[in-house]
Amino acid sequence: MQRVREEKDISGCAIVGMISEDGRRFSGETVIRSIASMRERSNGLGGGFAAYGIYPDFADLYAFHVMCDSARARVAARRYLEETFKVRHQEAIPRHAQSCTDSAPILERYFLEPPEPTTSRGAPCEAEEDIIVRHVMFVNRNIDGAFVFSSGKNMGVFKGVGYPEEIGRFYRLDEYEAHTWLSHGRFPTNTTGWWGGAHPFGLLDWAVVHNGEISSYGINRRYLENNGYFCTLRTDTEVICYLFDLLMRRHRLPLEAAAAVLAPPFWTDIERMPQDEAELARALRIVYAGALLNGPFSVVVAHSGGLIGLNDRTKLRPMTAARSGGMLYLASEESAIRAVCPSPDSLWYPEGGRPVVGRVREPAYA
C-alpha cells in the first residue's frame, strides 16, 4: 500500500529572475524555457511573468493591466479610469487564440497620464506615484470584480491560473522583449489559486515573486493599512510588494536597510555586532517591527532599475544565483539557470538575509 503524505509540500513554487545589466532586451522565450524546467514545483494553479522595457512607444505613461470578472465590472473600471486619468491608449491584452486557458477573466490594458496633483492651502503637493497607488487601491477595493494587477511605466505583469509555460503561451510572451524578466510557478498551500492571486504581484514598477510562506501576514497587512496600502488579492505575497514600495520609494531606505527590516538579524546576533551596527539594527527592528517578515521565504523583486534576490534570515527556501557576461540569473534551482545558460561565469547560493542585486542603466531605488 502506498503511504499517503498528510503534511503540506513545503518546497513548492518556482521562481526565476533574470536581468541584462547593459539594458539589452531579449525575448520572453528565454524565461519561459527556464521556468518550464521546474514544472514539478508547480501544480497548475498559478503562473506568471513580469517584463521591463516592453512598452517603448508608451514609456512615459502608466500601463495599467486590468482583469475583470464580468462585463459590468469592466464597464465600471473603464468609467473610473476615464474619469480619473487621461487615457492615451486602451486595448485588450493580446492572447493566443488557441490557448488552453479557458477560465480567463476579461483582460485589458490602459496607457494613462495621471491627473494633476491637487493640494489644499499650506499642504504639500501629493507625489505622482502616490496618486497612482491611491487609485489602484480604490479600484481593487471598491469596484466589485475588477483588479489592477500591474501599474508601472514601460513594464507589465502577466499572470493567471495554469502552469507558467501555459501562461507564457497564453499571453504570447515570446513576442515581447525586455531587459528584466520575472517568472513564477505557483503551488498554493494556504490561499486560493485564482487569476488575481497568481504571482507576480505588482504596484507601480515593483514586481515580486515568492516561494514560501509569510506567517506574519496579518501583522504586515495591518501595518500596511496604516500606511494607505490594502491587500485585496488574497495571497500572503502581496504584502512583500507593498513593503518594498513603502520602505524604498516612500521612506527612501537604502536596499541594505530595507533588507535588514524584512529579514533582520536575530537579537542574539545584534548583541555581537560592533556598537554602531548594533544601534542601527536595533533601531530598524523597533521602528519597523510591523514590517518584519516571518516564515520561510525566497523572493525576487524587480523594478525599473534592477533586480533583487532575498532569502529569509535562516534560508529555509532555496535560491541559486549566477552571472554570465552582463546577465544576472536568480532561480529556485540551479537547473533552471543552466537550462538557458549552461556554463555561467560564476554560480553561488546566496546567504540568508543578504540581498543579491543586479542593476540596469541608472538604478531607480537600489
Are 54 and 207 contacting, i.e. CB atoms less than 8 angstroms apart?
A: no
DSSP 246-263: IIIIIS---HHHHHHHHS
CA distance 181 to 200: 11
Q: How many residues does the chain have?
A: 366
Integer CA distances (angstroms), 299 to 259, 310, 354, in order:
11, 5, 12
DSSP H or E segment with residue 281: helix 275-287
Q: Could you tell me the strand order of the sheet in which 155-160 lies?
A: 155-160, 47-52, 180-185, 14-20, 327-331, 320-324, 346-348
CA distance 66 to 68: 7
Only one residue has cell 555561467, namely 344
CA distance 22 to 362: 10
Are 308 and 364 contacting, i.e. CB atoms less than 8 angstroms apart?
A: no
DSSP 98-135: T-S-----EEEEEEEEPPPP---TTSPPPPHHHHHHHH
The residues facing 19 across adjacent strands are 180, 328
- For residue 9, give the C-alpha cell: 509540500
Question: Is 341 an active-site residue?
Answer: no
Q: What DSSP state is assigned to residue 245?
A: I
Are 263 and 294 contacting, i.e. CB atoms less than 8 angstroms apart?
A: no
Are 153 and 59 contacting, i.e. CB atoms less than 8 angstroms apart?
A: yes
Are 137 and 146 contacting, i.e. CB atoms less than 8 angstroms apart?
A: no
Q: Which of 13, 68, 241, 341 is catalytic?
A: 13
Active-site amino acid positions: 13
